[in-house]
């Protein structure tokens, strides 16, 4: 955890893993003024590194701060961290936040914006569920209205409801939770987007109040290449009963089959296996 070898990129320098600390008065710690990314490298190369760096900068802008590095500098820093740690297949976690400074209240325009990038080995996000199909709980927390929070930002503050939902799910023996949105439509899992299959066609919630994942967009493209119809639309809870297959997508989750959501069961079917394999080949290509 904290006390291990390795280096972390922090504000432009590589620092020993165990020294990558911040002050307790860090604004982000008190007020969630932080944004982050989750990326995976395959065979030494980060999948869609540039898109992730762009999203990081956009997320910061959405929560009202500017990251003092260009997309190219961020891409180079990620590669530097991987190299310095001797990693080629790994997870990469950039984080940018408002640090400690003259302001200790809600406003923090005068506090420095800081950034760090860590990388580590991380296997299958849902462990054995990657093969058998994950079991999902139904979260009691709802994805918020975009008028309440900047839902397209990968902002730390938005993860409070995710952590609470995931913990409640794990306490019931589930791997994760599926969240509805503020209107009651099916939204996503706590760190991954969701897809359903019905009669050979794919249905996925319209990303209008949650992260339009890079994996989600990639998978939609791969399905379209296979001439499979993809419907991005609002999905009512009552429809869950009629879907035959289900999977999650995300950088960490990749394509993970879902076997159960609450009382509903899904088959880990041919299309789920096919898209999981196609995605795996695509990220390594």
Q: Is residue 193 at the binding interface for ligand PMP, with CB under 6 A as the rule?
A: yes
Query: Tokens at residue 51, please?
Result: 């898109």
Q: Please state the closest distance from residue 173 (CB atom) to ligand PMP, in A.
A: 22
Can you tell me which of 250, 256, 258, 261 binds ligand PMP, judged by CB under 6 A? 250
Q: Is residue 59 at the binding interface for ligand PMP, with CB under 6 A as the rule?
A: no
Span from 2-10, 19-27, 109-117, 184-192 in contact with ligand PMP (CB under 6 A)? 184-192
Do residues 14 and 76 touch, judged by C-beta distance below 8 A? Answer: no
Neighbours of 234 (CB within 10 A): 14
Please tell me the distance from the alpha carbon of residue 23 to that of residue 34, in angstroms, as a whole number: 15
Which of 48, 78, 130, 154 is labelled catalytic?
154
Query: Tokens at residue 89, please?
Result: 């297949």
Q: Is residue 191 at the binding interface for ligand PMP, with CB under 6 A as the rule?
A: yes
154 is catalytic: yes
Span from 12-20, 82-90, 223-231, 247-255 in contact with ligand PMP (CB under 6 A)? 247-255
x/- letters, 205..244, toward ligand PMP (CB under 6 A): -----xx-xxxx----------------------------
Can you tell me which of 28, 95, 192, 209 binds ligand PMP, judged by CB under 6 A? 192
> Please, what is the Cα angle at 24 between 148 and 39, to 5 degrees?
60
| 3-state SS, residue 164 | helix
Cβ nearer to ligand PMP, comparing 17 with 159: 159
Question: 116: which strand partners?
Answer: 10, 95
Residues 101-112: b if buried by 16+ CB within 10 A, e if exposed: beeeeeebeebe
Distances (CA, A) of 180 to 177, 222, 232: 10, 26, 16
Active site residues: 154
Residues of this chain that interact with ligand PMP (CB under 6 A) are 38, 154, 162, 188, 191-193, 210-211, 213-216, 249-251
């Amino acid at each position: 955890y904290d006390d291990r070898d390795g280096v972390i990129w922090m504000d432009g320098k590589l620092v020993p893993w165990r020294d990558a600390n911040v002050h307790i008065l860090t604004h982000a710690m008190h007020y969630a003024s932080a944004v982050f990314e989750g990326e995976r490298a395959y065979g030494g190369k980060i999948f869609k590194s540039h898109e992730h760096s762009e999203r990081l900068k956009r997320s910061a802008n959405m929560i009202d701060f500017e990251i003092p590095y260009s997309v190219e500098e961020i891409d180079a820093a990620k590669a530097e961290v991987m190299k310095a740690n001797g990693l080629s297949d790994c997870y990469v976690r950039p984080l940018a936040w408002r640090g400690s400074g003259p302001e200790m209240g809600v406003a923090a325009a005068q506090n420095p914006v800081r950034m760090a990038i860590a990388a580590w080995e991380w296997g299958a996000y849902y462990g054995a569920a990657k093969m058998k199909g994950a079991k999902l709980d139904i979260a009691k927390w709802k994805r918020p209205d975009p008028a309440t929070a900047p839902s397209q930002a990968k902002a730390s503050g938005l993860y409070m409801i995710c952590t609470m939902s995931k913990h409640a799910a794990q306490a019931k023996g589930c791997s994760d939770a599926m969240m509805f949105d503020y209107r009651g439509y099916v939204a996503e899992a706590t760190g991954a987007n969701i897809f359903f299959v019905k009669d050979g066609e794919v249905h996925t919630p319209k990303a209008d109040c949650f992260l339009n994942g890079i994996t989600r967009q990639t998978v939609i493209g791969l399905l379209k290449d296979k001439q499979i119809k993809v419907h991005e639309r609002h999905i009512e809870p009552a429809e869950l009963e009629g879907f035959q297959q289900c999977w999650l997508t995300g950088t960490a989750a990749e394509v993970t089959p879902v076997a159960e959501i609450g009382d509903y069961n899904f088959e880990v079917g041919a299309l789920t296996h096919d898209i999981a394999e196609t995605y795996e080949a695509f990220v390594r290509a």
